[in-house]
Amino acid sequence: MAGPQLLTCAAGSDNQNCGNAGVYGTLGVPAAANLPGSRSRGSSWADRDGNLWLFGGQGFDANGAYNILNDLWEFNPKNQQWAWMGGPSTGGSGNAVYGTLGVASPENLPGRRDGETSWTDGDGNFWIYGGNGLDATGFVGILDDLWRYQPSTAAAPASFTLTANPAALTVTAAGSGSSTITSTVTGGFDSDITLVPSGQPASVIVAFQPASISGAGTATMTMSVAAGAAPGVYPITVTGTGGGVSQTTQVTLTVVSVPDFSLTLNPPAIVVPAGKSGATTVVLTATGGFNGNVDYSCSGLPAGASCSFALSVVPVDTSETYTTLTIATAPTTAALRRNGGPMLPAASLAAFLGCMGWKRRRRLVLCLLLLLGASALSVLSGCAVHYTPHGGGGNPVTVTGTSGALRHSATLSLTVD
């Protein structure tokens, strides 16, 4: 149930002189690391709470020195921990301190001894008689003194305490976390302890498995947070009730947003001359502590256009990052088309021939003016430029950011002029 499997000293020709040193810890305080040194021929008894008591014997002290011992130990089988309760942890005179006959005193101490006779009376007191050891002057011999030790004057009350491990949890919305609730009993408490939570918001569901602890035991407390739970810190009290006793412990639950991000464009619309480049800023706003890498791409570009992204360093809110999106267009993205034609089209020629048929001089001037106007219009018509912008009216370009399973987009209105 406890203790090491191996001796830590080097065995010599006499294996009886090999053993482990004691780990005494703090007087009166049980601890998992505490351990009496290796020994034989000590005295032991059980108190009314079922704890084991150990006194003296031949063995090793805290320094690993072999001697006859007069230290006192208590072992609790429920938590499997030793406590050093009295006597020296290392060497010394080892003499007995008898005090006044029949009068109990914390200064009294039986001398170092082993092989004594021992028993427990009906009140839980421990008695020892004789053995091989030291008297009040330090003389070694066979002793015939009688001692009584009182572990306590009253029985410990039947009760329990609750502890939570861990006592603080951080959980994202739509997530869950768990803590172990442990009951430690005293005074022989053996009733069932029913666990009930309080203080949690409606968005947090608390469940226990099992729903009650039988005496000393454990239960798993699971806290499930709804997807829409508001971020915050929520102290949740766990109350245990059983055997007429009620005790509490607390678990602090911190709810945080799911790490995510959103994209916006500034400006959301740009006009780019054909064969030139234009730019806008992609603003990434992080939420819920998002700090992942984001890969950018764009789609819906007009023919002959391309996009590129470059991170910009802007000393503003650390929850935002800025990336410059540059769109480059080719000269062919917008086409210029000339409509070629004769300098004197058919309409002008028809007007000239019609005038040739006029006989009156006064109409000759008017005819020449008409012919001149028609010729001018023909020249303009033959040199006209027809412009057709690609994606005219604002071509929608989709800008997408991807980080793992997260994917968000924003739309840019692009006009190639």
Q: What is the Rg, in whole angstroms, of the alpha carbon atoms belonging to the chain?
A: 48
Homologous superfamily in CATH for domain 159-256: Immunoglobulins (2.60.40.10)
Closest CA to 299 of 388, 401, 416, 392: 401
Q: Which residues is 260 bridged to in the sheet?
A: 287
Q: What average pLDDT does range 174-178 have in this prediction?
A: 93
Q: Which residues is 407 bridged to in the sheet?
A: 402
Closest CA to 238 of 180, 174, 157, 171: 180
How would DSSP label each residue in 310-359?
EEE---S-TTEEEEEEEEE--GGGSEEEE----SS-HHHHHHHHHHHT--
pLDDT of amino acid 402: 95
Amino acid of residue 65: A
* Strand order through the sheet with 176-186: 159-165, 176-186, 217-225, 204-209
Do the domains at 159-256 and 260-334+391-416 have one common CATH topology?
yes
**Strand 168-172 to 406-416 pairing:** unpaired
Q: Map out the domains of the chain as residue ranges.
A: 15-149, 159-256, 260-334+391-416, 340-383
Closest CA to 284 of 245, 325, 248: 325
- The pTM of the full predicted model, rounded to 2 decimals, is 0.41
**Strand 320-328 to 395-403 pairing:** unpaired
Tokens of 366: 């008017």
In sequence order, the 6+-apart residues with CB closer than 8 A to the CB of 55 are 42, 43, 44, 70, 71, 72, 73, 87, 110, 118, 126, 128, 149
Look over the chain and give the mean of its residue pLDDT values, rounded to a whole number. 82
Give per-residue pLDDT as tens, 73-109.
999 988 889 999 888 988 767 889 999 999 988 889 9
pLDDT for 392 beyond 60: no
pLDDT of amino acid 291: 85
Residue pair 154/141 in contact by the 8 Å Cβ criterion: no
pLDDT for 231 beyond 80: yes
pLDDT for 118 beyond 60: yes
Fold classification of 260-334+391-416 is Immunoglobulin-like (2.60.40)
CA distance 137 to 127: 22
pLDDT tier at 361 (50, 70, 90 boundaries)?
Answer: very low
pLDDT over 70, % of the chain: 80
pLDDT of amino acid 346: 46
pLDDT of amino acid 29: 86
CA distance 89 to 69: 9
Q: What average pLDDT does range 336-341 have in this prediction?
A: 38
CA distance 44 to 74: 10
Give per-residue pLDDT as tens, 246-276.
999 999 999 988 888 999 999 999 999 999 9
